[in-house]
Amino acid sequence: MKNIESNSYVDFLDIRDYAIAGQIFSLQQSAYQVEAKLIGTQKIPPLMETLEQLMDCGETFLGYYEQEELIGALSYKRKGGEVDIYRMMVNPDHFRKGIAKNLLYDLERRHGDVKQILISTGAQNLPAVKLYEKLGFIVIGDTVVCEGLILSRFLKIKG
């Protein structure tokens, strides 16, 4: 989806392409470092992942570009009538500009027939928690991943 006026758009990303994967990896590191500080642990799985592991993850990626620069991305897997979002990342220089919201809207548009969408975030990542709740997601549970890392799981049921 291209927005000509602002020169921003969302498009699929080929995670198997080394150059694109490198951009996603860099974005992931910078975005999840901020979340690590918010929740008080470096044990976030994307921060421990290698480039090769990222390239082999089997997830579908959508990227948000502004003036041809990748500044946001999400990844997901679709299983029947369900989309499970695995990663949401935004360049910290572009926080609070609606990029995560636009990525989620684009995902919903592309998969308008799904019955539900799932996403997780650190329970203490209040900006993400507030965004997901504002967009109609409800908390369905918390999981202790390891010492210092509690993930909140969110669900959005589609009409």
The reported pLDDT for the residue numbered 4 is 40
pLDDT along the chain (159 residues), means of 10: 68 98 98 92 92 98 97 98 98 96 98 97 93 98 88 94
The reported pLDDT for the residue numbered 43 is 87
What lies within 8 Å, CB to CB, of 136 at 6+ separation is 156
Quick check: 40 and 34 in contact, CB under 8 A? no
Please tell me the pTM assigned to this model.
0.92
Three-class DSSP category at 106: helix
Q: Which domains does the chain have, with CATH numbers?
A: 2-157 (3.40.630.30)
Quick check: 108 and 74 in contact, CB under 8 A? no
DSSP β-ladder status, 2-3 and 8-13: antiparallel
DSSP β-ladder status, 149-157 and 116-122: antiparallel
Cross-strand pairs, 119: 154
* Cβ neighbour number for residue 10 with a 10 Å cutoff: 23
Look up residue 128 and give its two tokens: 């993400």
The reported pLDDT for the residue numbered 1 is 52
